[in-house]
Structure 1
Amino acid sequence: MGLGGLGLLMTINQTFALKLFGFYPIGNAFIYYLIGIFLAVALLIFPARQTDSERLPWYDWLLAAAALGGSLYLGLNGLRMTQQGWEYFAPLSATLIATMMLLLVLEGVRRCGGWAIFAVALIFGAYPLYAGYMPGFLWSNGFELGETIRAHVMGAESIVGVPMQVVANLIVGFVVFGIALTITGGGEFFMNFATALMGRSRGGPAKVAVVSSAFMGSLSGSAVSNILTTGTITIPAMKRSGYKPEYAAAVEACASTGGTLMPPVMGAVAFIMASFLGVSYGEVMIAALLPAILFYLALLLQVDHYAARKGLQGMPAKDIPRIGTTLVAGWPYLLSLAVLIYMLLAMRLESQAPYYATLVLLGIALFRRQKRLGLKQLGEFFYQLAHGVGNLVAVLAGIGLVVGGLSYTGVAGAFSRELLLYAGDSIPLMLAAGAVTSFILGMGMTVSACYIFLSILLAPALVGAGLNPLGSHLFILYWGMLSYITPPVALAAITAAGVAGANNTRTSLHAVRLGGVLFVLPFLFVLNPSLILQGEVFDIVVSTLTALTAIWLVAAAMEGYLYRVGSVSWPLRGALLIAALLMMYPEGRSDLLGLGMLVVTYGVAFLRQARQVPSPPPPLDQVCHKP
């Protein structure tokens, strides 16, 4: 907790250039200090073995002290390191300390990210050692062991590269804001707000789950943690209303997964994306807004169709708060969000905005009777900060080894060129290859790790093929995220199934159906930049209306229910799905063909409905009676 507070104080000092006690380190020195503090935290919080989960062994203290000492040495020599080129030639003592830090980073990524990310970091981090033995475009000039270690630890492209720079300059502040929102009662407010909005409608509990998870997932950036917080409330409520456990768990899994794509905060990956693209975070936030809304609208439509088909009702009136009362009670949270968005979009103070928003929120909380901050809440605040940032630093420092290994050898550029060569002029083939690659890597890696890896290898090829840069990077992000709801991994679906007491496989299959729009949505906005709000206003409006109609048709096809008709047969569901795909395709007059097929489908459905209506009984005076 103390280390977390120290790391926060150092970050605030650097962000606002306070120069407390004359302390204001240069860029790489500051990052080394931050790595040391939060890597030490990660080594103390996350156990090396499962058997150590209930105790803190002596060697964890030793490793944490080594992380602090090694980073302190590197930070104090940060200026000399840059001026004298220690990346290439360094004193023996510096090389030994760099070796120790490299091993500590690998241990940190193993503990926080698991063996899969550890293996990726080790294999690609060591790539310079065996690049000279690789065939074809994978070949590069090899590095010796000492050169590789120095490049990773003291170079500018690896451990202290873009991922860690984003953590130091941006992400810590947004983690602080998200935690402050939670401990002051923001989760309860957003749950009540969602209930007031959606609770009365049919299938109300499922709609509350979708809306509340969109709010909280946006602020937490973590699908799993969102399920373990809001899901413990929404899943039992859905079950009580008549939803099957697997369906209830799937709704929560999809809604929580999509939260990482919902502005204003999103997840850590959005900030990394902005840095890779060289654009402001506000541009990424605006581009991600419409796709996120379309995804959540598709979820709402599907749960509404399901509720209509099953005859499910809304929540009891006594369980639904008044929306006016809810907004009055939650005005501090709305005000802090407004401050955050204004400073991000209007003032472009990306690094400082979350701290000002947090200050507004905590300042109000000090004078409120309800949710007033005490020592217990402050202790929880610093613990969550240390836990969250420690995990991020450990994982992203390890992923920095992947970035460094591919950058130093130049293999990343060669891979992109080869992909362009093999795909030729076929953009659909390239997108399909990118989707499959993103999905497979997303199975064993976090979304941030998957995105960073593919933004180096795959994104340059997509951009080189003439696709929109921002759309290409969002495409990778969406497909990497799909593994959270798709078998065999389906981490979010399995977590939600555990909360619901449901079968893992059936929950994953339900989640695939509910999140079906995610499988086509990335292709829409990467081929049609209007859907990421880029282009002429008229094109954006037309594309938005077409996409809205298309996702309604997808929802109707998935759930087998059509408004004003009721349940529909499989042939009509297939026709609805084809109409949706035609409207999604951005070229030619396919949207008009889709509309035409929709009209025909409705006509056929009404005719079938009319044939199935039984004839009215004859009048009584016409009924023959036996004498």
Structure 2
Amino acid sequence: MSSSTSTAPQDVTKRVVFDDPHGAAGNMQEAEVTRVRTLRGTWRWTLVVATAATILLCINQQFSLRFFVGYTQLNTEYFYLLIALMLPFTFLIFPGAERAPLDRIPWYDLVLFVATFAAAIMLMSNVRKAAEAGWEFGGAPNSVIAAGLVMWAMLMEALRRTGGWSLLLSVMPFTVYPLFAEARWLGPFRGTQSTLEQATAYHVLSGESLLGIPIQAFADTVIGFLVFGTALMMTGAGKFFINLSFAMCGTFRGGAAKVCIFASGLLGMMSGSIISNVLTAGTMTIPVMKKSGFRASYAAAIEACASTGAVLAPPVMGATAFVIAQFLNVSYAEVAVAAIIPAALYYVGLFMQVDTYAARHGLKGIPRADLPRVMDTIKDGWYYVFVIALLIVMLLYFKRESHAPFYATALLLVLNQLFSKDTRWTFATIGKFLEVNGRTFVELVGILAGCGLLIGAFSMTGVVSSLANDLLHIAGDNAFLLLGMCALTSLILGLGLTTTACYIFLAILVAPALEKLGLNRMAVHMFIFYWGMLSSITPPVAIASFAAAGIAGSPAMKTGWESMWVGSIIYFIPFFFVLNPALVLQGPSPYLAGLGLMGLAAFGTLFICGGIQGYQPFVGDLRGTGALEWPIRVLLVIGGFVVATPGGGIMPLSQLQVTLLGLAILVPTTLLALLLVRRHTMEPDGLRAP
């Protein structure tokens, strides 16, 4: 954490200065590897030019500019041009082995670069003919098949380099599965078998595999939002968000931790990466939390949970949210709106956890003299509010999700050049901006393109519908059992796969079965998304917790368990919105119902957090209940959970019955705790401060 001072009459305000987030985090979105090359010289400028071409191609396609000469490019040609521009750089940026040099590019990586580029251009030049002649179903020339085989192999190697061996070993068997789909030992996975030529043609020429949902999401919406996020960072929005968080929340009880939660939620608009959020916000907030009295592992756990929630929070969510929109064939705005109440409940839960922890341990806020002023902060960065408002209006009112980030970026850059003295862009800044975006594009294309073959394989074999029936048979048409199976599978897959790969797996295999039970589609896909993200704070992997532990200097595994404890509410929220999709603003009259359910869930969460932390608001420190402390805490958690749980639907009890049952647990428990705590505080040797 770095700080500077600004002097005012009789007052010295220690302003928080937010360092360049890209320098700290490398802006990795989903990659499971951290050993990367920094391109220099000619190769750096090649990446910069390729990135500029990628952004211009996206603008041309989304705004229907037709290259200003009346030429209409097919979407499939556009997708292959993006792949040709970005995928080859995977082999230059991500080394092939631990011992591979980082200061130079080996000859074999250059060979893979050229082979990938040549295969992509070959397929791009033939994809229009393929659409006219139906080559994806047979009849493709040998040269196209050969290029397809090269592309298939390059995609698998790109997956290994960006997502690690776990992602490759999870995806590759399914991509070749159509070649032996009729084998008896496959059981419920038996389907229609294809030859190598048929499978290759379908993978690289159809709109269901390589050119399917993941790469479509990247090409249509992800590029624009990544450009917007990078522009926010490089115009100093990170410093503004951090300072605003300190100014607004710093003086509260346990203020440093509340700053962390608020700041990480805001920073999520700039980065779709959990790790990037941890490494940027955490370097600022974790030392302040420790200084305020939070133990190291708890401070790291708060940061890990807050950063995980940031990727689930609108208006700019992680890349997986855009893939969800493509899967459901809805606008990204619908996905973002559906995420509002779950995200709000999650952050309310975190705030309550921190508040009750701080109250139990007597932790104060940060002195006002050490914090930036709210008005000074807003004066320095007022135009960020206008830019974000424009983005939201264009998403929700004008429904122009593919245009919104470009308009918002243009407005941001104009206002930054006019009103900011410190962060005005130069030609060097533009080069850095393109380089940072290029590295992010390369990483995401490497993962998304390869994962697209998953969808193609199951589409080719036609096994999805029969598998859904088999899952329903195994679960005995029991929605709760199937949801539990899905949650556990998501958590396990999330340990080894990136979030997007995990989501795609389960959206293909499990979501159809849940939908056949009559559950809301949006709620089902959000359920899978949430549970796939939970591996970030769940041991044994818990990458967000481990990254935060590194900053805090705390034991990694202990931080992982603390993260589960602090973020426990997020394990319940997905079940809540599947039980009643009004929580994701679905169904008839969802807004009023959603607000009512949100109020009940927040009320229940107040008691869940009180039981977990041992301090119940409006009652006091539960250590004052003596021998009954733990029974009371357990009853508070159970009662709070019951009150927060939606009734009706697949639940055997109505909403009124569930709420009354929860209150029947909470009211006597709270009254007993209040009586015992007050009696204890009236004794001469009352409760001692911790």
TM-score normalised by length of structure 2: 0.87
Contact 1:219 1:266 (8 Å CA) reproduced: no
In structure 2, C-alpha distance between the alignment counterparts of 1:256 and 1:376, rounded to whole Å = 30
Matching of residue 332 in structure 1 with residue 400 in structure 2: no
Q: 2: distance between equivalents of 1:342 and 1:564?
A: 40
Aligned length: 617
Q: Structure 1 residue 597: deviation in Å? A: 2.3
1:113 is matched with which residue: 163, 172, 178?
Answer: 163
CA distance in 2 between partners of 1:118 and 1:398 (Å) = 9
The SS at the match of 2:251 is: coil
Post-superposition offset of 1:141? 2.5
CA distance in 1, matches of 2:645, 2:196: 51
Return the offset for 1:197: 1.2
1:494–1:504 CA contact under 8 A, matched in 2: yes
Q: CA deviation at 1:454?
A: 0.7
2:295 aligns with 244
Task: Tell me, yes or no, if the aligned pair for 1:129 and 1:142 is still in contact at 8 Å.
Answer: yes
Residue in structure 2 matched with residue 9 of structure 1 by the alignment: 56
Distance 1:577 1:565 in 2: 15
Given candidates 120, 128, 153, the residue that maps to 1:103 is: 153
SS at match of 1:89: coil
Which residue number corresponds to residue 294 of structure 1?
345
What is the match of residue 625 of structure 1? none
Sort the Cα spacing of 1:34 and 1:418 in 2 relative to 1 into closer, same or farther, 3 A.
same
Deviations 1:519-571 (A, max 9, x none): 11100001111211234344223212111111111111111111133221111
Structure 1 residues 159-308: aligned runs within 5 Å: 159-308=210-359
* Cα distance in structure 2, aligned partners of 1:616 and 1:465: 60
Shift of 1:20: 2.5
Alignment correspondent of 2:670: 602
Contact (CA 8 Å) 1:459, 1:472: kept in 2 or not? yes
Query: Unmatched 5+ residue regions in structure 1?
Result: 618-627
Cross-structure match for 1:623: none
Could you tell me which amino acid in structure 2 is paired with residue 86 of structure 1?
A: W
- Paired AA for residue 639 in structure 2: A
* Displacement of 1:5: 1.4
Structure-2 separation of matches of 1:455 and 1:280:
17
1:415-426 equivalent positions in 2, closer than 5 A? 415-426=467-478
Determine which of 392, 404, 407 is the counterpart of 2:459: 407
Deviation sequence 1:136-157 (CA, Å, 0-9, x none): 3211122122221221112221
Superposed CA deviations along residues 48-88 of structure 1, whole A, max 9, x for unmatched, are 12232332222222222222222112112221011122221
Paired position in structure 2 for 1:575: 635
- In structure 2, the residue matched to 1:45 is 93
CA distance in 2, matches of 1:383, 1:373: 14
Deviations 1:433-481 (CA, angstroms, capped at 9, x unpaired) = 1111111111111111111111111111111101111111111111111
**Aligned-pair Cα RMSD in Å:** 1.5
Match of 2:544 in 1: 492
Is 1:557–1:577's contact at 8 Å kept on the other side of the alignment?
Answer: yes
Amino acid at match of 2:297: E
The answer on whether the counterparts of 1:41 and 1:386 sit within 8 Å (CA) in structure 2 is no
For residues 488 and 11 of structure 1, the distance between their equivalents in structure 2, rounded to whole angstroms, comes to: 40
Runs of 4+ in 1 over 4 A off after TM superposition: 614-617
Change (3 A) 1:485 1:615: closer
| Residue among 7, 11, 30 paired with 2:78 | 30
Q: What is the aligned partner in structure 1 of residue 35 from structure 2?
A: none
1:615 is displaced (CA, Å) by: 5.1
Give the deviation of 1:92 after TM superposition.
Answer: 1.1
**Contact 2:605–2:641 (Cα < 8 Å) also in 1:** no
1:557 aligns with 2:611: yes
Per-residue deviation, residues 396-446 of structure 1 (Å, max 9, x unmatched): 111011111111111222211111122233111111111111111111111
Q: Kindly state the Cα deviation for residue 249 of structure 1 after the two structures are TM-superposed.
A: 0.6
Matched, 1:459 2:511: yes
Change (3 A) 1:614 1:365: closer
Could you tell me how far apart the structure 2 residues matched to 1:195 and 1:505 are?
29
Matched, 1:592 2:640: no
Q: Distance in 1 between matches of 2:493 and 2:614?
A: 33
Matching residue's letter, 1:18: L
What is the CA-CA distance between 1:394 and the residue it aligns to? Answer: 0.5
Provide the secondary structure at the position in 1 that maps to 2:399. coil
Structure 2 CA distance for aligned equivalents of residues 376 and 199 of structure 1: 36
2:448 aligned residue: 396
Q: Secondary structure at the match of 1:302?
A: helix
Q: How does 1:376-391 map to 2 (within 5 A)?
A: 376-391=428-443
- Identify which of 523, 527, 537 aligns with 1:475: 527
Q: 1:66 aligns with which of 115, 140, 157?
A: 115
Q: 1:120 to 1:616 in 2, by over 3 A?
A: closer
Q: Quick check: 1:19 aligned with 2:70?
A: no
Q: Structure 2: how far apart are the matches of 1:420 and 1:613?
A: 56
Following TM superposition, by how much is the alpha carbon of 1:196 offset from its aligned partner in structure 2, in angstroms?
1.2
Distance (Å, rounded) in 1 between the aligned partners of 2:516 and 2:425: 52
Structure 2 residues without counterparts, runs of 5 or longer: 1-47, 623-628, 648-653, 686-690
The 8 Å contact of residues 209 and 234 in structure 1, kept in 2 or not, is answered as: yes
Identity among equivalent positions (%) equals 42
CA distance in 2, matches of 1:175, 1:559: 38
SS in 1 for 2:402: coil
CA–CA distance in structure 2, aligned partners of residues 407 and 383 of structure 1: 36
- Is the contact made by 1:210 and 1:251 (CA closer than 8 Å) also made in structure 2? yes
The farther-off stretch of 50-59 and 29-38 is 50-59
Query: How far apart, in 1, do the equivalents of 2:338 and 2:682 lie?
Result: 52
* 1:17 aligned counterpart, secondary structure: coil
Distance change >3 Å, CA 34–CA 615, structure 1 → 2: closer
Classify the secondary structure of the residue corresponding to 1:114.
Answer: helix
Post-superposition shift, 1:616? Answer: 6.6
Secondary structure in 2 matching 1:248:
helix
Give, in angstroms, the shift of residue 207 of structure 1.
0.5
Contact preservation (8 Å) 2:224, 2:402? yes
Query: 1:47: how far off?
Result: 1.3
Classify the secondary structure of the residue corresponding to 2:270. Answer: helix
Q: What SS does the corresponding residue of 2:135 show, helix, strand or coil?
A: coil
Q: Give how far 1:609 is off.
A: 2.0
Moved more, 446-455 or 39-48: 39-48
